[in-house]
């Protein structure tokens, strides 16, 4: 049986054995509801609050600024929809974001547009970066919220959040950042960045799926999104996922402790891959070559379809993803790649590799060995590639 090479860590990561070990008691013997009054529930209460402290330490936040959620999508929706309702009471109905946000953000904004809010999507240019001046120019007296992701989930570009936050503070506008791809991989300190709200999700840094958190700066009051019980200080109802929350706290602590060493390794593997893969004719790297997540590679190979590339890599035991949305049932290429100016025919031929702490140089070499003949085979069957060759003859 061929070795599985997993290079899709931006989609999800393997649960750390050390994290699972911490979670196990709360999946088995320590099953009490933290909201119960009897002494048996005390351990669950303590576990939740210990995890809250761990997340706060990792982000440089106060403990009472951390709220647990079901994951990144809920955190994004709570921050955006919740604050939109709060700011509407102050006569603010304009929201600013970027053209290549995660769909959890973009779809939340579309829902708000149906409720009468106006949305401005800033351009991200070829390098995949939001310009600070563009934000400053877009803010109006009606602007109440800016939401810009910290690092893009497809092309990995890291945004100038600190500079964007400074503009928002000067203009009296709240800034939310979707940091789902960033936390655990690059330094994130909410005080140094100056953000008002920040979303994260445990399964992106070797924690469990189905649990995340939202940082809400003290004094920022998004409306409640989920009504019910008094959990999370009356801000987010629902019985706490104690095992998941414990896993989140342990995972973020471990990720931060090993971040520098892991990032150095992943940057080397990332750059090594890009340097060698660019030897393939008519290939390109998408996004900024340096200012990107340590383990992120996103490339396009002209004349092929990303879906076919993924299927043929899978036959070699290589797990990757594509900027093309074909695998989700859409014939349109990635909105991220279109946002940075790629034409449809090039954007369709994209490949995203996201390396993790378990990725080895041997894994990267195996992908580099498999990739060129697959591209060559797909191009041999492609009318688009035939046209490209004729046009450039």
The answer to whether 34 touches 45, Cβ cutoff 8 Å, is: yes
Q: What is the three-class DSSP state of 66?
A: strand
Of 101, 236, 235, 254, residue with least CA distance to 179: 101
Which ranges of the chain would DSSP assign to H, the alpha helix?
17-27, 42-59, 72-77, 83-88, 103-113, 132-138, 161-171, 190-193, 231-234, 242-277, 306-315, 335-339, 344-347, 361-380, 383-391
* β-pairing verdict for 296-301 and 350-354: antiparallel
Considering the candidates 168, 300, 319, 326, report the single residue annotated as catalytic: 326
List, in order, residues 6 or more apart from 211 with CB less than 8 Å away: 68, 69, 70, 71, 201, 202, 203, 241, 244, 245, 247, 248
Does 326 participate in catalysis according to the annotation? yes
Structure tokens at 374: 């697959």
List, in order, residues 6 or more apart from 325 with CB less than 8 Å away: 332, 333, 334, 335
Question: Which residues are annotated as catalytic?
Answer: 326
């Amino acid at each position: 049986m061929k070795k599985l090479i997993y290079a899709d860590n931006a989609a999800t990561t393997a649960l750390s054995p050390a994290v699972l070990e911490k979670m196990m008691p709360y999946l088995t013997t320590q099953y009490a509801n933290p909201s119960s009054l009897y002494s048996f529930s005390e351990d669950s209460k303590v576990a939740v609050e210990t995890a809250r402290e761990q997340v706060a330490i990792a982000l440089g936040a106060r403990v009472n600024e951390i709220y647990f959620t079901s994951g990144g999508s809920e955190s994004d929706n709570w921050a955006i929809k919740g604050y939109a309702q709060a700011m509407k009471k102050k006569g603010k109905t304009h929201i600013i974001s970027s053209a290549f946000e995660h769909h959890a953000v973009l779809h939340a904004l579309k829902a708000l547009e149906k409720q009468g809010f106006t949305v401005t999507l800033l351009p991200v240019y070829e390098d995949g970066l939001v310009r600070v001046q563009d934000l400053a120019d877009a803010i109006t007296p009606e602007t109440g919220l800016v939401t810009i992701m910290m690092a893009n989930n497809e092309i990995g570009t890291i945004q100038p959040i600190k500079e964007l936050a400074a503009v928002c503070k000067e203009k009296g506008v709240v800034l939310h950042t979707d940091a789902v791809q960033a936390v655990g991989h690059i330094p994130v300190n909410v005080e140094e960045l100056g953000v008002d709200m920040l979303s994260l999700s445990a399964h992106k840094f070797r924690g469990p799926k189905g649990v995340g958190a939202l940082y809400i700066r003290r004094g920022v009051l998004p409306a409640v999104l989920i009504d019910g019980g008094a959990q999370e200080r009356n801000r987010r109802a629902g019985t706490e996922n104690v095992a998941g929350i414990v896993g989140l706290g342990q995972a973020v602590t471990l990720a931060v402790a090993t971040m520098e060493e892991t990032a150095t390794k992943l940057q080397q593997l990332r750059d090594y891959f890009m340097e060698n893969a660019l030897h393939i004719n008519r290939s390109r790297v998408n996004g900024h070559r340096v200012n990107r997540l340590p383990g992120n590679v996103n490339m396009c190979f002209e004349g092929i379809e990303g879906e076919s590339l993924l299927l043929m890599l899978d036959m070699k035991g290589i797990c990757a993803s594509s900027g093309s949305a074909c695998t989700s049932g859409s014939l349109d290429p990635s909105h991220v790649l279109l946002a940075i100016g790629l034409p449809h025919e090039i954007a369709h031929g994209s490949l995203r590799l996201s390396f993790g702490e378990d990725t080895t140089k041997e894994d990267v070499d195996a992908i580099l060995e498999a990739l060129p003949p697959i591209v060559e085979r797909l191009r041999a069957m492609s009318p688009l590639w035939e046209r490209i060759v004729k046009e450039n003859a």
